[in-house]
Structure 1
Amino acid sequence: MSASGSKFISTEPLRNEEARWARLVKTTYLDPNGVERTWESSERQTRPQGSGIDGVGIIAILEKSTGPELLLQKQYRPPVAKVCIEVPAGLIDAGESPEVCALRELKEETGYVGEVAKGSSAVSPVMYNDPGFCNTNLNMVHVTVDMSRPENQNLKTELEENEFIECFSVPLKDLYSECRKLEQEGYAIDARVGTLAEGFEVAKKWKLC
């Protein structure tokens, strides 16, 4: 089933009592001059009690003989009425670590069985997606996928009935140019993918690697 098969129908205000995933809130705070101000934002209602994050994003590197490739997804996102180019991601379950969540979500959404990368950079600092608008946050988890493993030959996903996800991969060295190409084709680029691509370009420009 293609992610591009979804169609926008309409949009309308959502009452708080109808909301399952998020709600609008008004925050009152004092600015540095002591002036009381208010701020409108949204917050998730799904974060498990005791968890410091809502979910994870997964930087899954496919280890291919032609070079490393980044696993990406195409998924229709109703708020922007477009198919988005994203990394695999998902909400964390109660009691789960970011690493366990990442491997579970990777298997469910893509069928791939991976391993969390070694070292202190395997799990990113807590990142906030759009802190001026929402309190949603996550850890990015770096995962490697050994393409020679039998489990990674005949992939079986475990998608929910409302998930329509297409997976594909892009050579890491071509990520920036691929993002430009995909945007021209009408896709929306998720900020996590775009920021990673921009990071590669900054590293190239300033000869950091």
Structure 2
Amino acid sequence: MDLSKAKVQRIEPLQEQEARWVQLKKLVYLDPMGVERTWEFASRTTRVEGSDCDGVGIIAIIVKEEGPEIVVQKQYRAPVDKVCIELPAGLLDPNETILECAQRELMEECGLKGVPFAKDFYKGVPTTSVLMFNDPGFCNTNLKLVTLSVDPTDPINLNPKPQLEPNEFIESFSIPLKDLPIKLREFFSEGYAIDARVQNISMGILLSEAFLR
């Protein structure tokens, strides 16, 4: 598999009856001054009935003696026509909890078994984040971040076997957490697109080092 071979061939208008994943909608709302206005936005068609959440992003940390590593991915994303550096992620299935979704997606995309951190080790950071909106001025897509511990000595994790779907082309790897900011800059300079979620983690590391140590 060579992700660099992926390329957009053409862009065409999408007819409403062809849309499988999203719909373009117009809403009418009142602004804070009571003035009626309209807004165009994209809406997912895949949200599980009865849920307020579309899916998960996964912060998978491989715990090693020499220091923690974070699992990231390379995946071609046609809308930006670039290979992106991302976190593992996926959509919620019916009758599935947020944690179950994160564990399933990590296994399917990376072949890794992840479990919640022990509370005495985790230092107060919750396993699941609050509900987050990716681009609320454009779409109603949302997710929760889930942090999982990956034991490198677990037999499953010694020989990861991803279970990718035929239309998924993903390369998973890990980066020392302390090196994430500089590695993302290197990837960007090499022409990769950087997903906002992994970049925000990187910025959080830099802010913590600058202001919280």
> Structure 1 length normalisation: TM-score?
0.97
State the match for 1:3 in structure 2.
3
State the match for 2:141 in structure 1.
136
Q: Which runs of 5+ in 1 are unaligned?
A: none
Q: CA deviation at 1:66?
A: 2.1
**Secondary structure of the corresponding residue to residue 80 of structure 2:** coil
String of CA shifts for 1:13-39, please: whole Å, max 9, x gaps. Answer: 111110000010001000111110000
**Secondary structure of the corresponding residue to residue 132 of structure 1:** coil
Which residue of the other structure, out of 117, 139, 150, is the alignment partner of 2:155? Answer: 150
Amino acid at match of 1:69: E
Q: CA deviation at 1:118?
A: 4.1
Q: How many residues are treated as equivalent by the alignment? A: 208
Q: CA RMSD in A?
A: 1.0
Cα distance in 2 for residues equivalent to 1:43 and 1:117: 34
State the match for 1:62 in structure 2.
62
**Secondary structure of the corresponding residue to residue 184 of structure 2:** helix
Cα distance in 1 for residues equivalent to 2:112 and 2:180: 20
CA contact (8 A) 1:86 1:189 kept: yes
Q: Which runs of 5+ in 2 are unaligned?
A: 120-124
CA contact (8 A) 1:24 1:40 kept: yes
Cα distance in 2 for residues equivalent to 1:173 and 1:23: 40
**Secondary structure of the corresponding residue to residue 57 of structure 1:** strand
CA contact (8 A) 1:103 1:116 kept: no
Map 1:15-164 onto structure 2 (within 5 A): 15-119=15-119, 121-164=126-169
Task: Kindly indicate whether residue 197 of structure 2 is the aligned counterpart of residue 192 of structure 1.
Answer: yes
Identity across aligned pairs (percent)? 54
